[in-house]
Every structure is written in structure tokens, then in C-alpha cells.
Structure 1
Amino acid sequence: MELSFKEALKNRRTYYTISNKSLITDQEIENIIKFAITHVPSAFNSQSTRVVLLLGENHKKLWNITKETLRKIVPPEAFPATEKKIDGAFAAGYGTVLYFEDKTVVKGLQEAFPAYADKFPEWSNHTSAMHQLTIWALLEEAGFGASLQHYNPLIDEEVAKEWNLPATWKLVAEMPFGVPTQEPGEKEFKPLDDRIKVFK
């Protein structure tokens, strides 16, 4: 049964215990990505967001790259915990969505609208964030659990090299996903009166 947009947003949580299983086809996962890229808004209709979907061995390869990158900088005594987290919470999933912003698009807007030049990188981040939330909610609707990770810029160079990505694509975030194997903990909400003001 399809969830309403409200239900998908409400149910969307950070899942760290996911399996290498999917309740839908790979084509249906691709369709989620294509839907979001087509319909999510962007500043000045810039359409600056780029997405890479990694499945199967490519998904595993990403987290191996991440692990080996961290091995070089994490103290040896602390690395086992890092390795356990990557292997158990991220690599264990079914796939990963990589979010990028195309710097060429941002630069073009800065040149076309110099009065807003300093704002376009910020608005680019807003655009990426809207894509992240939309895809996260749609993955939730499809029965997946996901989390949002930020191992960039540590892994940027290796990721670009491995998948032959344009140098102008700036990595923003990584979203591993899979069928949840455990429910997340309770979520606390701060009082709405402290977060919303209404003037009539």
C-alpha cells in the first residue's frame, strides 16, 4: 500500500540496521531517482543536482573505499569501531545514493546573475537538501530504511576516479539504504511553540 506524502515524511527515520534486501526491483529504485531529479524544485530552475545510484558490487566498493580511506587517518586502536560501523550499518545495505552538485551550473548562474553570486553556492545546497529529503521519503515509502552520511570530502577523489565522474561534480552526501532489520529508537520532538510563530 502506498503511503501518503505526510505518512512517508512521518515514518522517515535514520536506520543503521539494514539488510542487503529489496522489496522492489532495481528498475523501480531507478524510477524513484528519476522522479525526484525530474520534479524536485531548484533555485532559478538550475537543476544542479546530480545523483549516482550504486547497487550490488558498486555499493560495496563505495564503502570499501570509505573504510580504506579512514584506515589511513583513524588511530589504529579506534579503527575497529569505525570498521564495524561501516560494515554493519552502511555496507550491509542494498545500495547507496550519492548526491552531487554540479559546480559548472553554479558558476554559470554566478556569472549570469552577479548580484546574487555569493548566494548561489548556498542555494545549491538547498537544492541538494530537497532532493535528499524527497528520495529519502520515497525510499521509505518503498519499504527501505536509510541514513544520510557525510564522508566527503575525504572520499571525493577516489569516488570520482572509480566511477569516472566529472571533476565539476561536488559530492555532498551519501545515503546507504536497505530493508530495515531493526526499528529505530524513539524520536524526541522539541516543543512546537519554540519553533513556530504564527501571526494573524
Structure 2
Amino acid sequence: MIRQRTFAEALEHRRSYYSISNDSPVQDEEIVHIIRTAVKHVPSAFNSQTTRVVLLLGDEHQKLWRIVKDQLEERLSEERYRQSEKKIDTSFSCGYGTILFFEDHSIVTELQKAFPTYQDNFPTWSQHTSAMHQLAIWTMLEDKGLGASLQHYNPLIDEEVRRTWKLPESWQLVAQMPFGTPVAEPGEKEFNDLSERIKIFT
């Protein structure tokens, strides 16, 4: 019987994978289950449940990275665009799928009106909620043998993404997570001295 990783071990193994292939060690249903589990159980301030997630597989995954390249091509010099295109083709679009993370700002606005004392905090708390969803899904994908990284091509692609997949205007794009089967190990990760990052008082 294979021993399951602990939560701490799963966190330790989560890394950014930039060398991925367009296949998956698990069925699509398992990926959907991971996303549904995170969206249902990850906490949010005031139980606001502001996070929205879009899973893109197959041609839909490729469509996203075509949008990214089109937007970059309009804005970058030819040399810089070719560099970006190579990175996208060899690290992101070559994967099995992409997960898009959004925050529904209509809920944030409603909470700001309902609780004016905390109105300045709700946008920040919304970002906290999104970050927790990203970490949870990223870690669970890695635990199933998938490699992923987190990208931020917003706001360049926001309008076209909403139009292409007919998403509500209130959904604000936060991050993109391409994933696939790792084909190379990630580089060494450096850690700053924990004594400079943690203080303990007893």
C-alpha cells in the first residue's frame, strides 16, 4: 500500500514547473474534482466565496495562449515578442490545460456597502481568498503528479478572455495556471534564513 503524503509534505513538494507536456497522469474528472474541492472548501472572509475558476482543456487551452501571444505581439518589439513566444510555447501552451482564477467584484462591492467599516479591506481580502485557492489547487495538482506554474498576463488579456468565454464583466482575472506532466525537474529553490522571517514569543 502506497503511503499518502501529509499536507506538510505536499506543500514541500509544490514547485513551479516550466517543462511540462500535453498529457496528464490522471483523468479529467480528477482535475475537475480537485477544483471543485478547493472552490467549495477554501475559506474566504465573511464567507464571501468570491473566487471563480475556469478550467481550459484541449483546444480551449490552446486558444488562451493564442490570445496571450496576440496581445503581446501588438505591444512588443519583434525581438522581445519572439522571446516571449518561445517561453509561452515551451512552458505554457505545451501543457495539458490551464486554470484561470478570477474574483467576482460584484460581491466585493456588495460587502463594501453592507459593512462600510471594513470597506477598504474587502478588495485585499478578496485577493487573499484567490491566493488560497491558487495554493490549494496548485498543491493538489502536484500531489497527483502534475506540474504547474502561476502566470499573470492580466490585464492585457482580460477583455478578450471575457469575450471569448462569455464571462461576466464582474469577474476580474487574477492569474493563469498552466499545467501538465513534468518532463524535467524544477531548478533549486533558495530559502532565506527562517530566523529572519519568524519571531516566536513565549
With normalisation by structure 1, the TM-score equals 0.99
- Corresponding position: 1:59 with 2:90: no
What CA distance in whole angstroms lies between the structure 2 residues aligned with 1:135 and 1:3?
Answer: 16
| Deviation at residue 6 of structure 1 after TM alignment | 1.1
* 2:92 alignment partner AA: F
What CA distance in whole angstroms lies between the structure 2 residues aligned with 1:163 and 1:79?
Answer: 25
What CA distance in whole angstroms lies between the structure 1 residues aligned with 2:92 and 2:136?
Answer: 20
5+ residue gaps, structure 2: none
Q: What does the per-residue CA deviation read over 1:92-116, in whole Å, with 9 as the maximum and x for residues that have no partner?
A: 0000000000011100100100000
- Corresponding position: 1:197 with 2:199: yes
- Corresponding position: 1:159 with 2:161: yes
Q: What does the per-residue CA deviation read over 1:115-143, in whole Å, with 9 as the maximum and x for residues that have no partner?
A: 00011000000000000000000000110
What CA distance in whole angstroms lies between the structure 2 residues aligned with 1:79 and 1:38?
Answer: 39
| Deviation at residue 3 of structure 1 after TM alignment | 2.4
Partner of 2:10: 8
Percent identity of the aligned residues?
61
SS in 1 for 2:163: helix
Counterparts of 1:1-200 in structure 2 under 5 Å? 1=2, 2-200=4-202
SS in 2 for 1:92: coil
What CA distance in whole angstroms lies between the structure 1 residues aligned with 2:8 and 2:181?
Answer: 21
What count of residue pairs does the alignment treat as equivalent?
200
5+ residue gaps, structure 1: none
| Deviation at residue 4 of structure 1 after TM alignment | 1.9
With normalisation by structure 2, the TM-score equals 0.98
Q: Considering only aligned residues, what root-mean-square deviation do their CA atoms show, in Å?
A: 0.7
* 1:87 alignment partner AA: D
What CA distance in whole angstroms lies between the structure 1 residues aligned with 2:119 and 2:171?
Answer: 19
Q: What does the per-residue CA deviation read over 1:24-81, in whole Å, with 9 as the maximum and x for residues that have no partner?
A: 1101100000000000000110000000000010000000100111000011122111
What CA distance in whole angstroms lies between the structure 1 residues aligned with 2:5 and 2:53?
Answer: 24
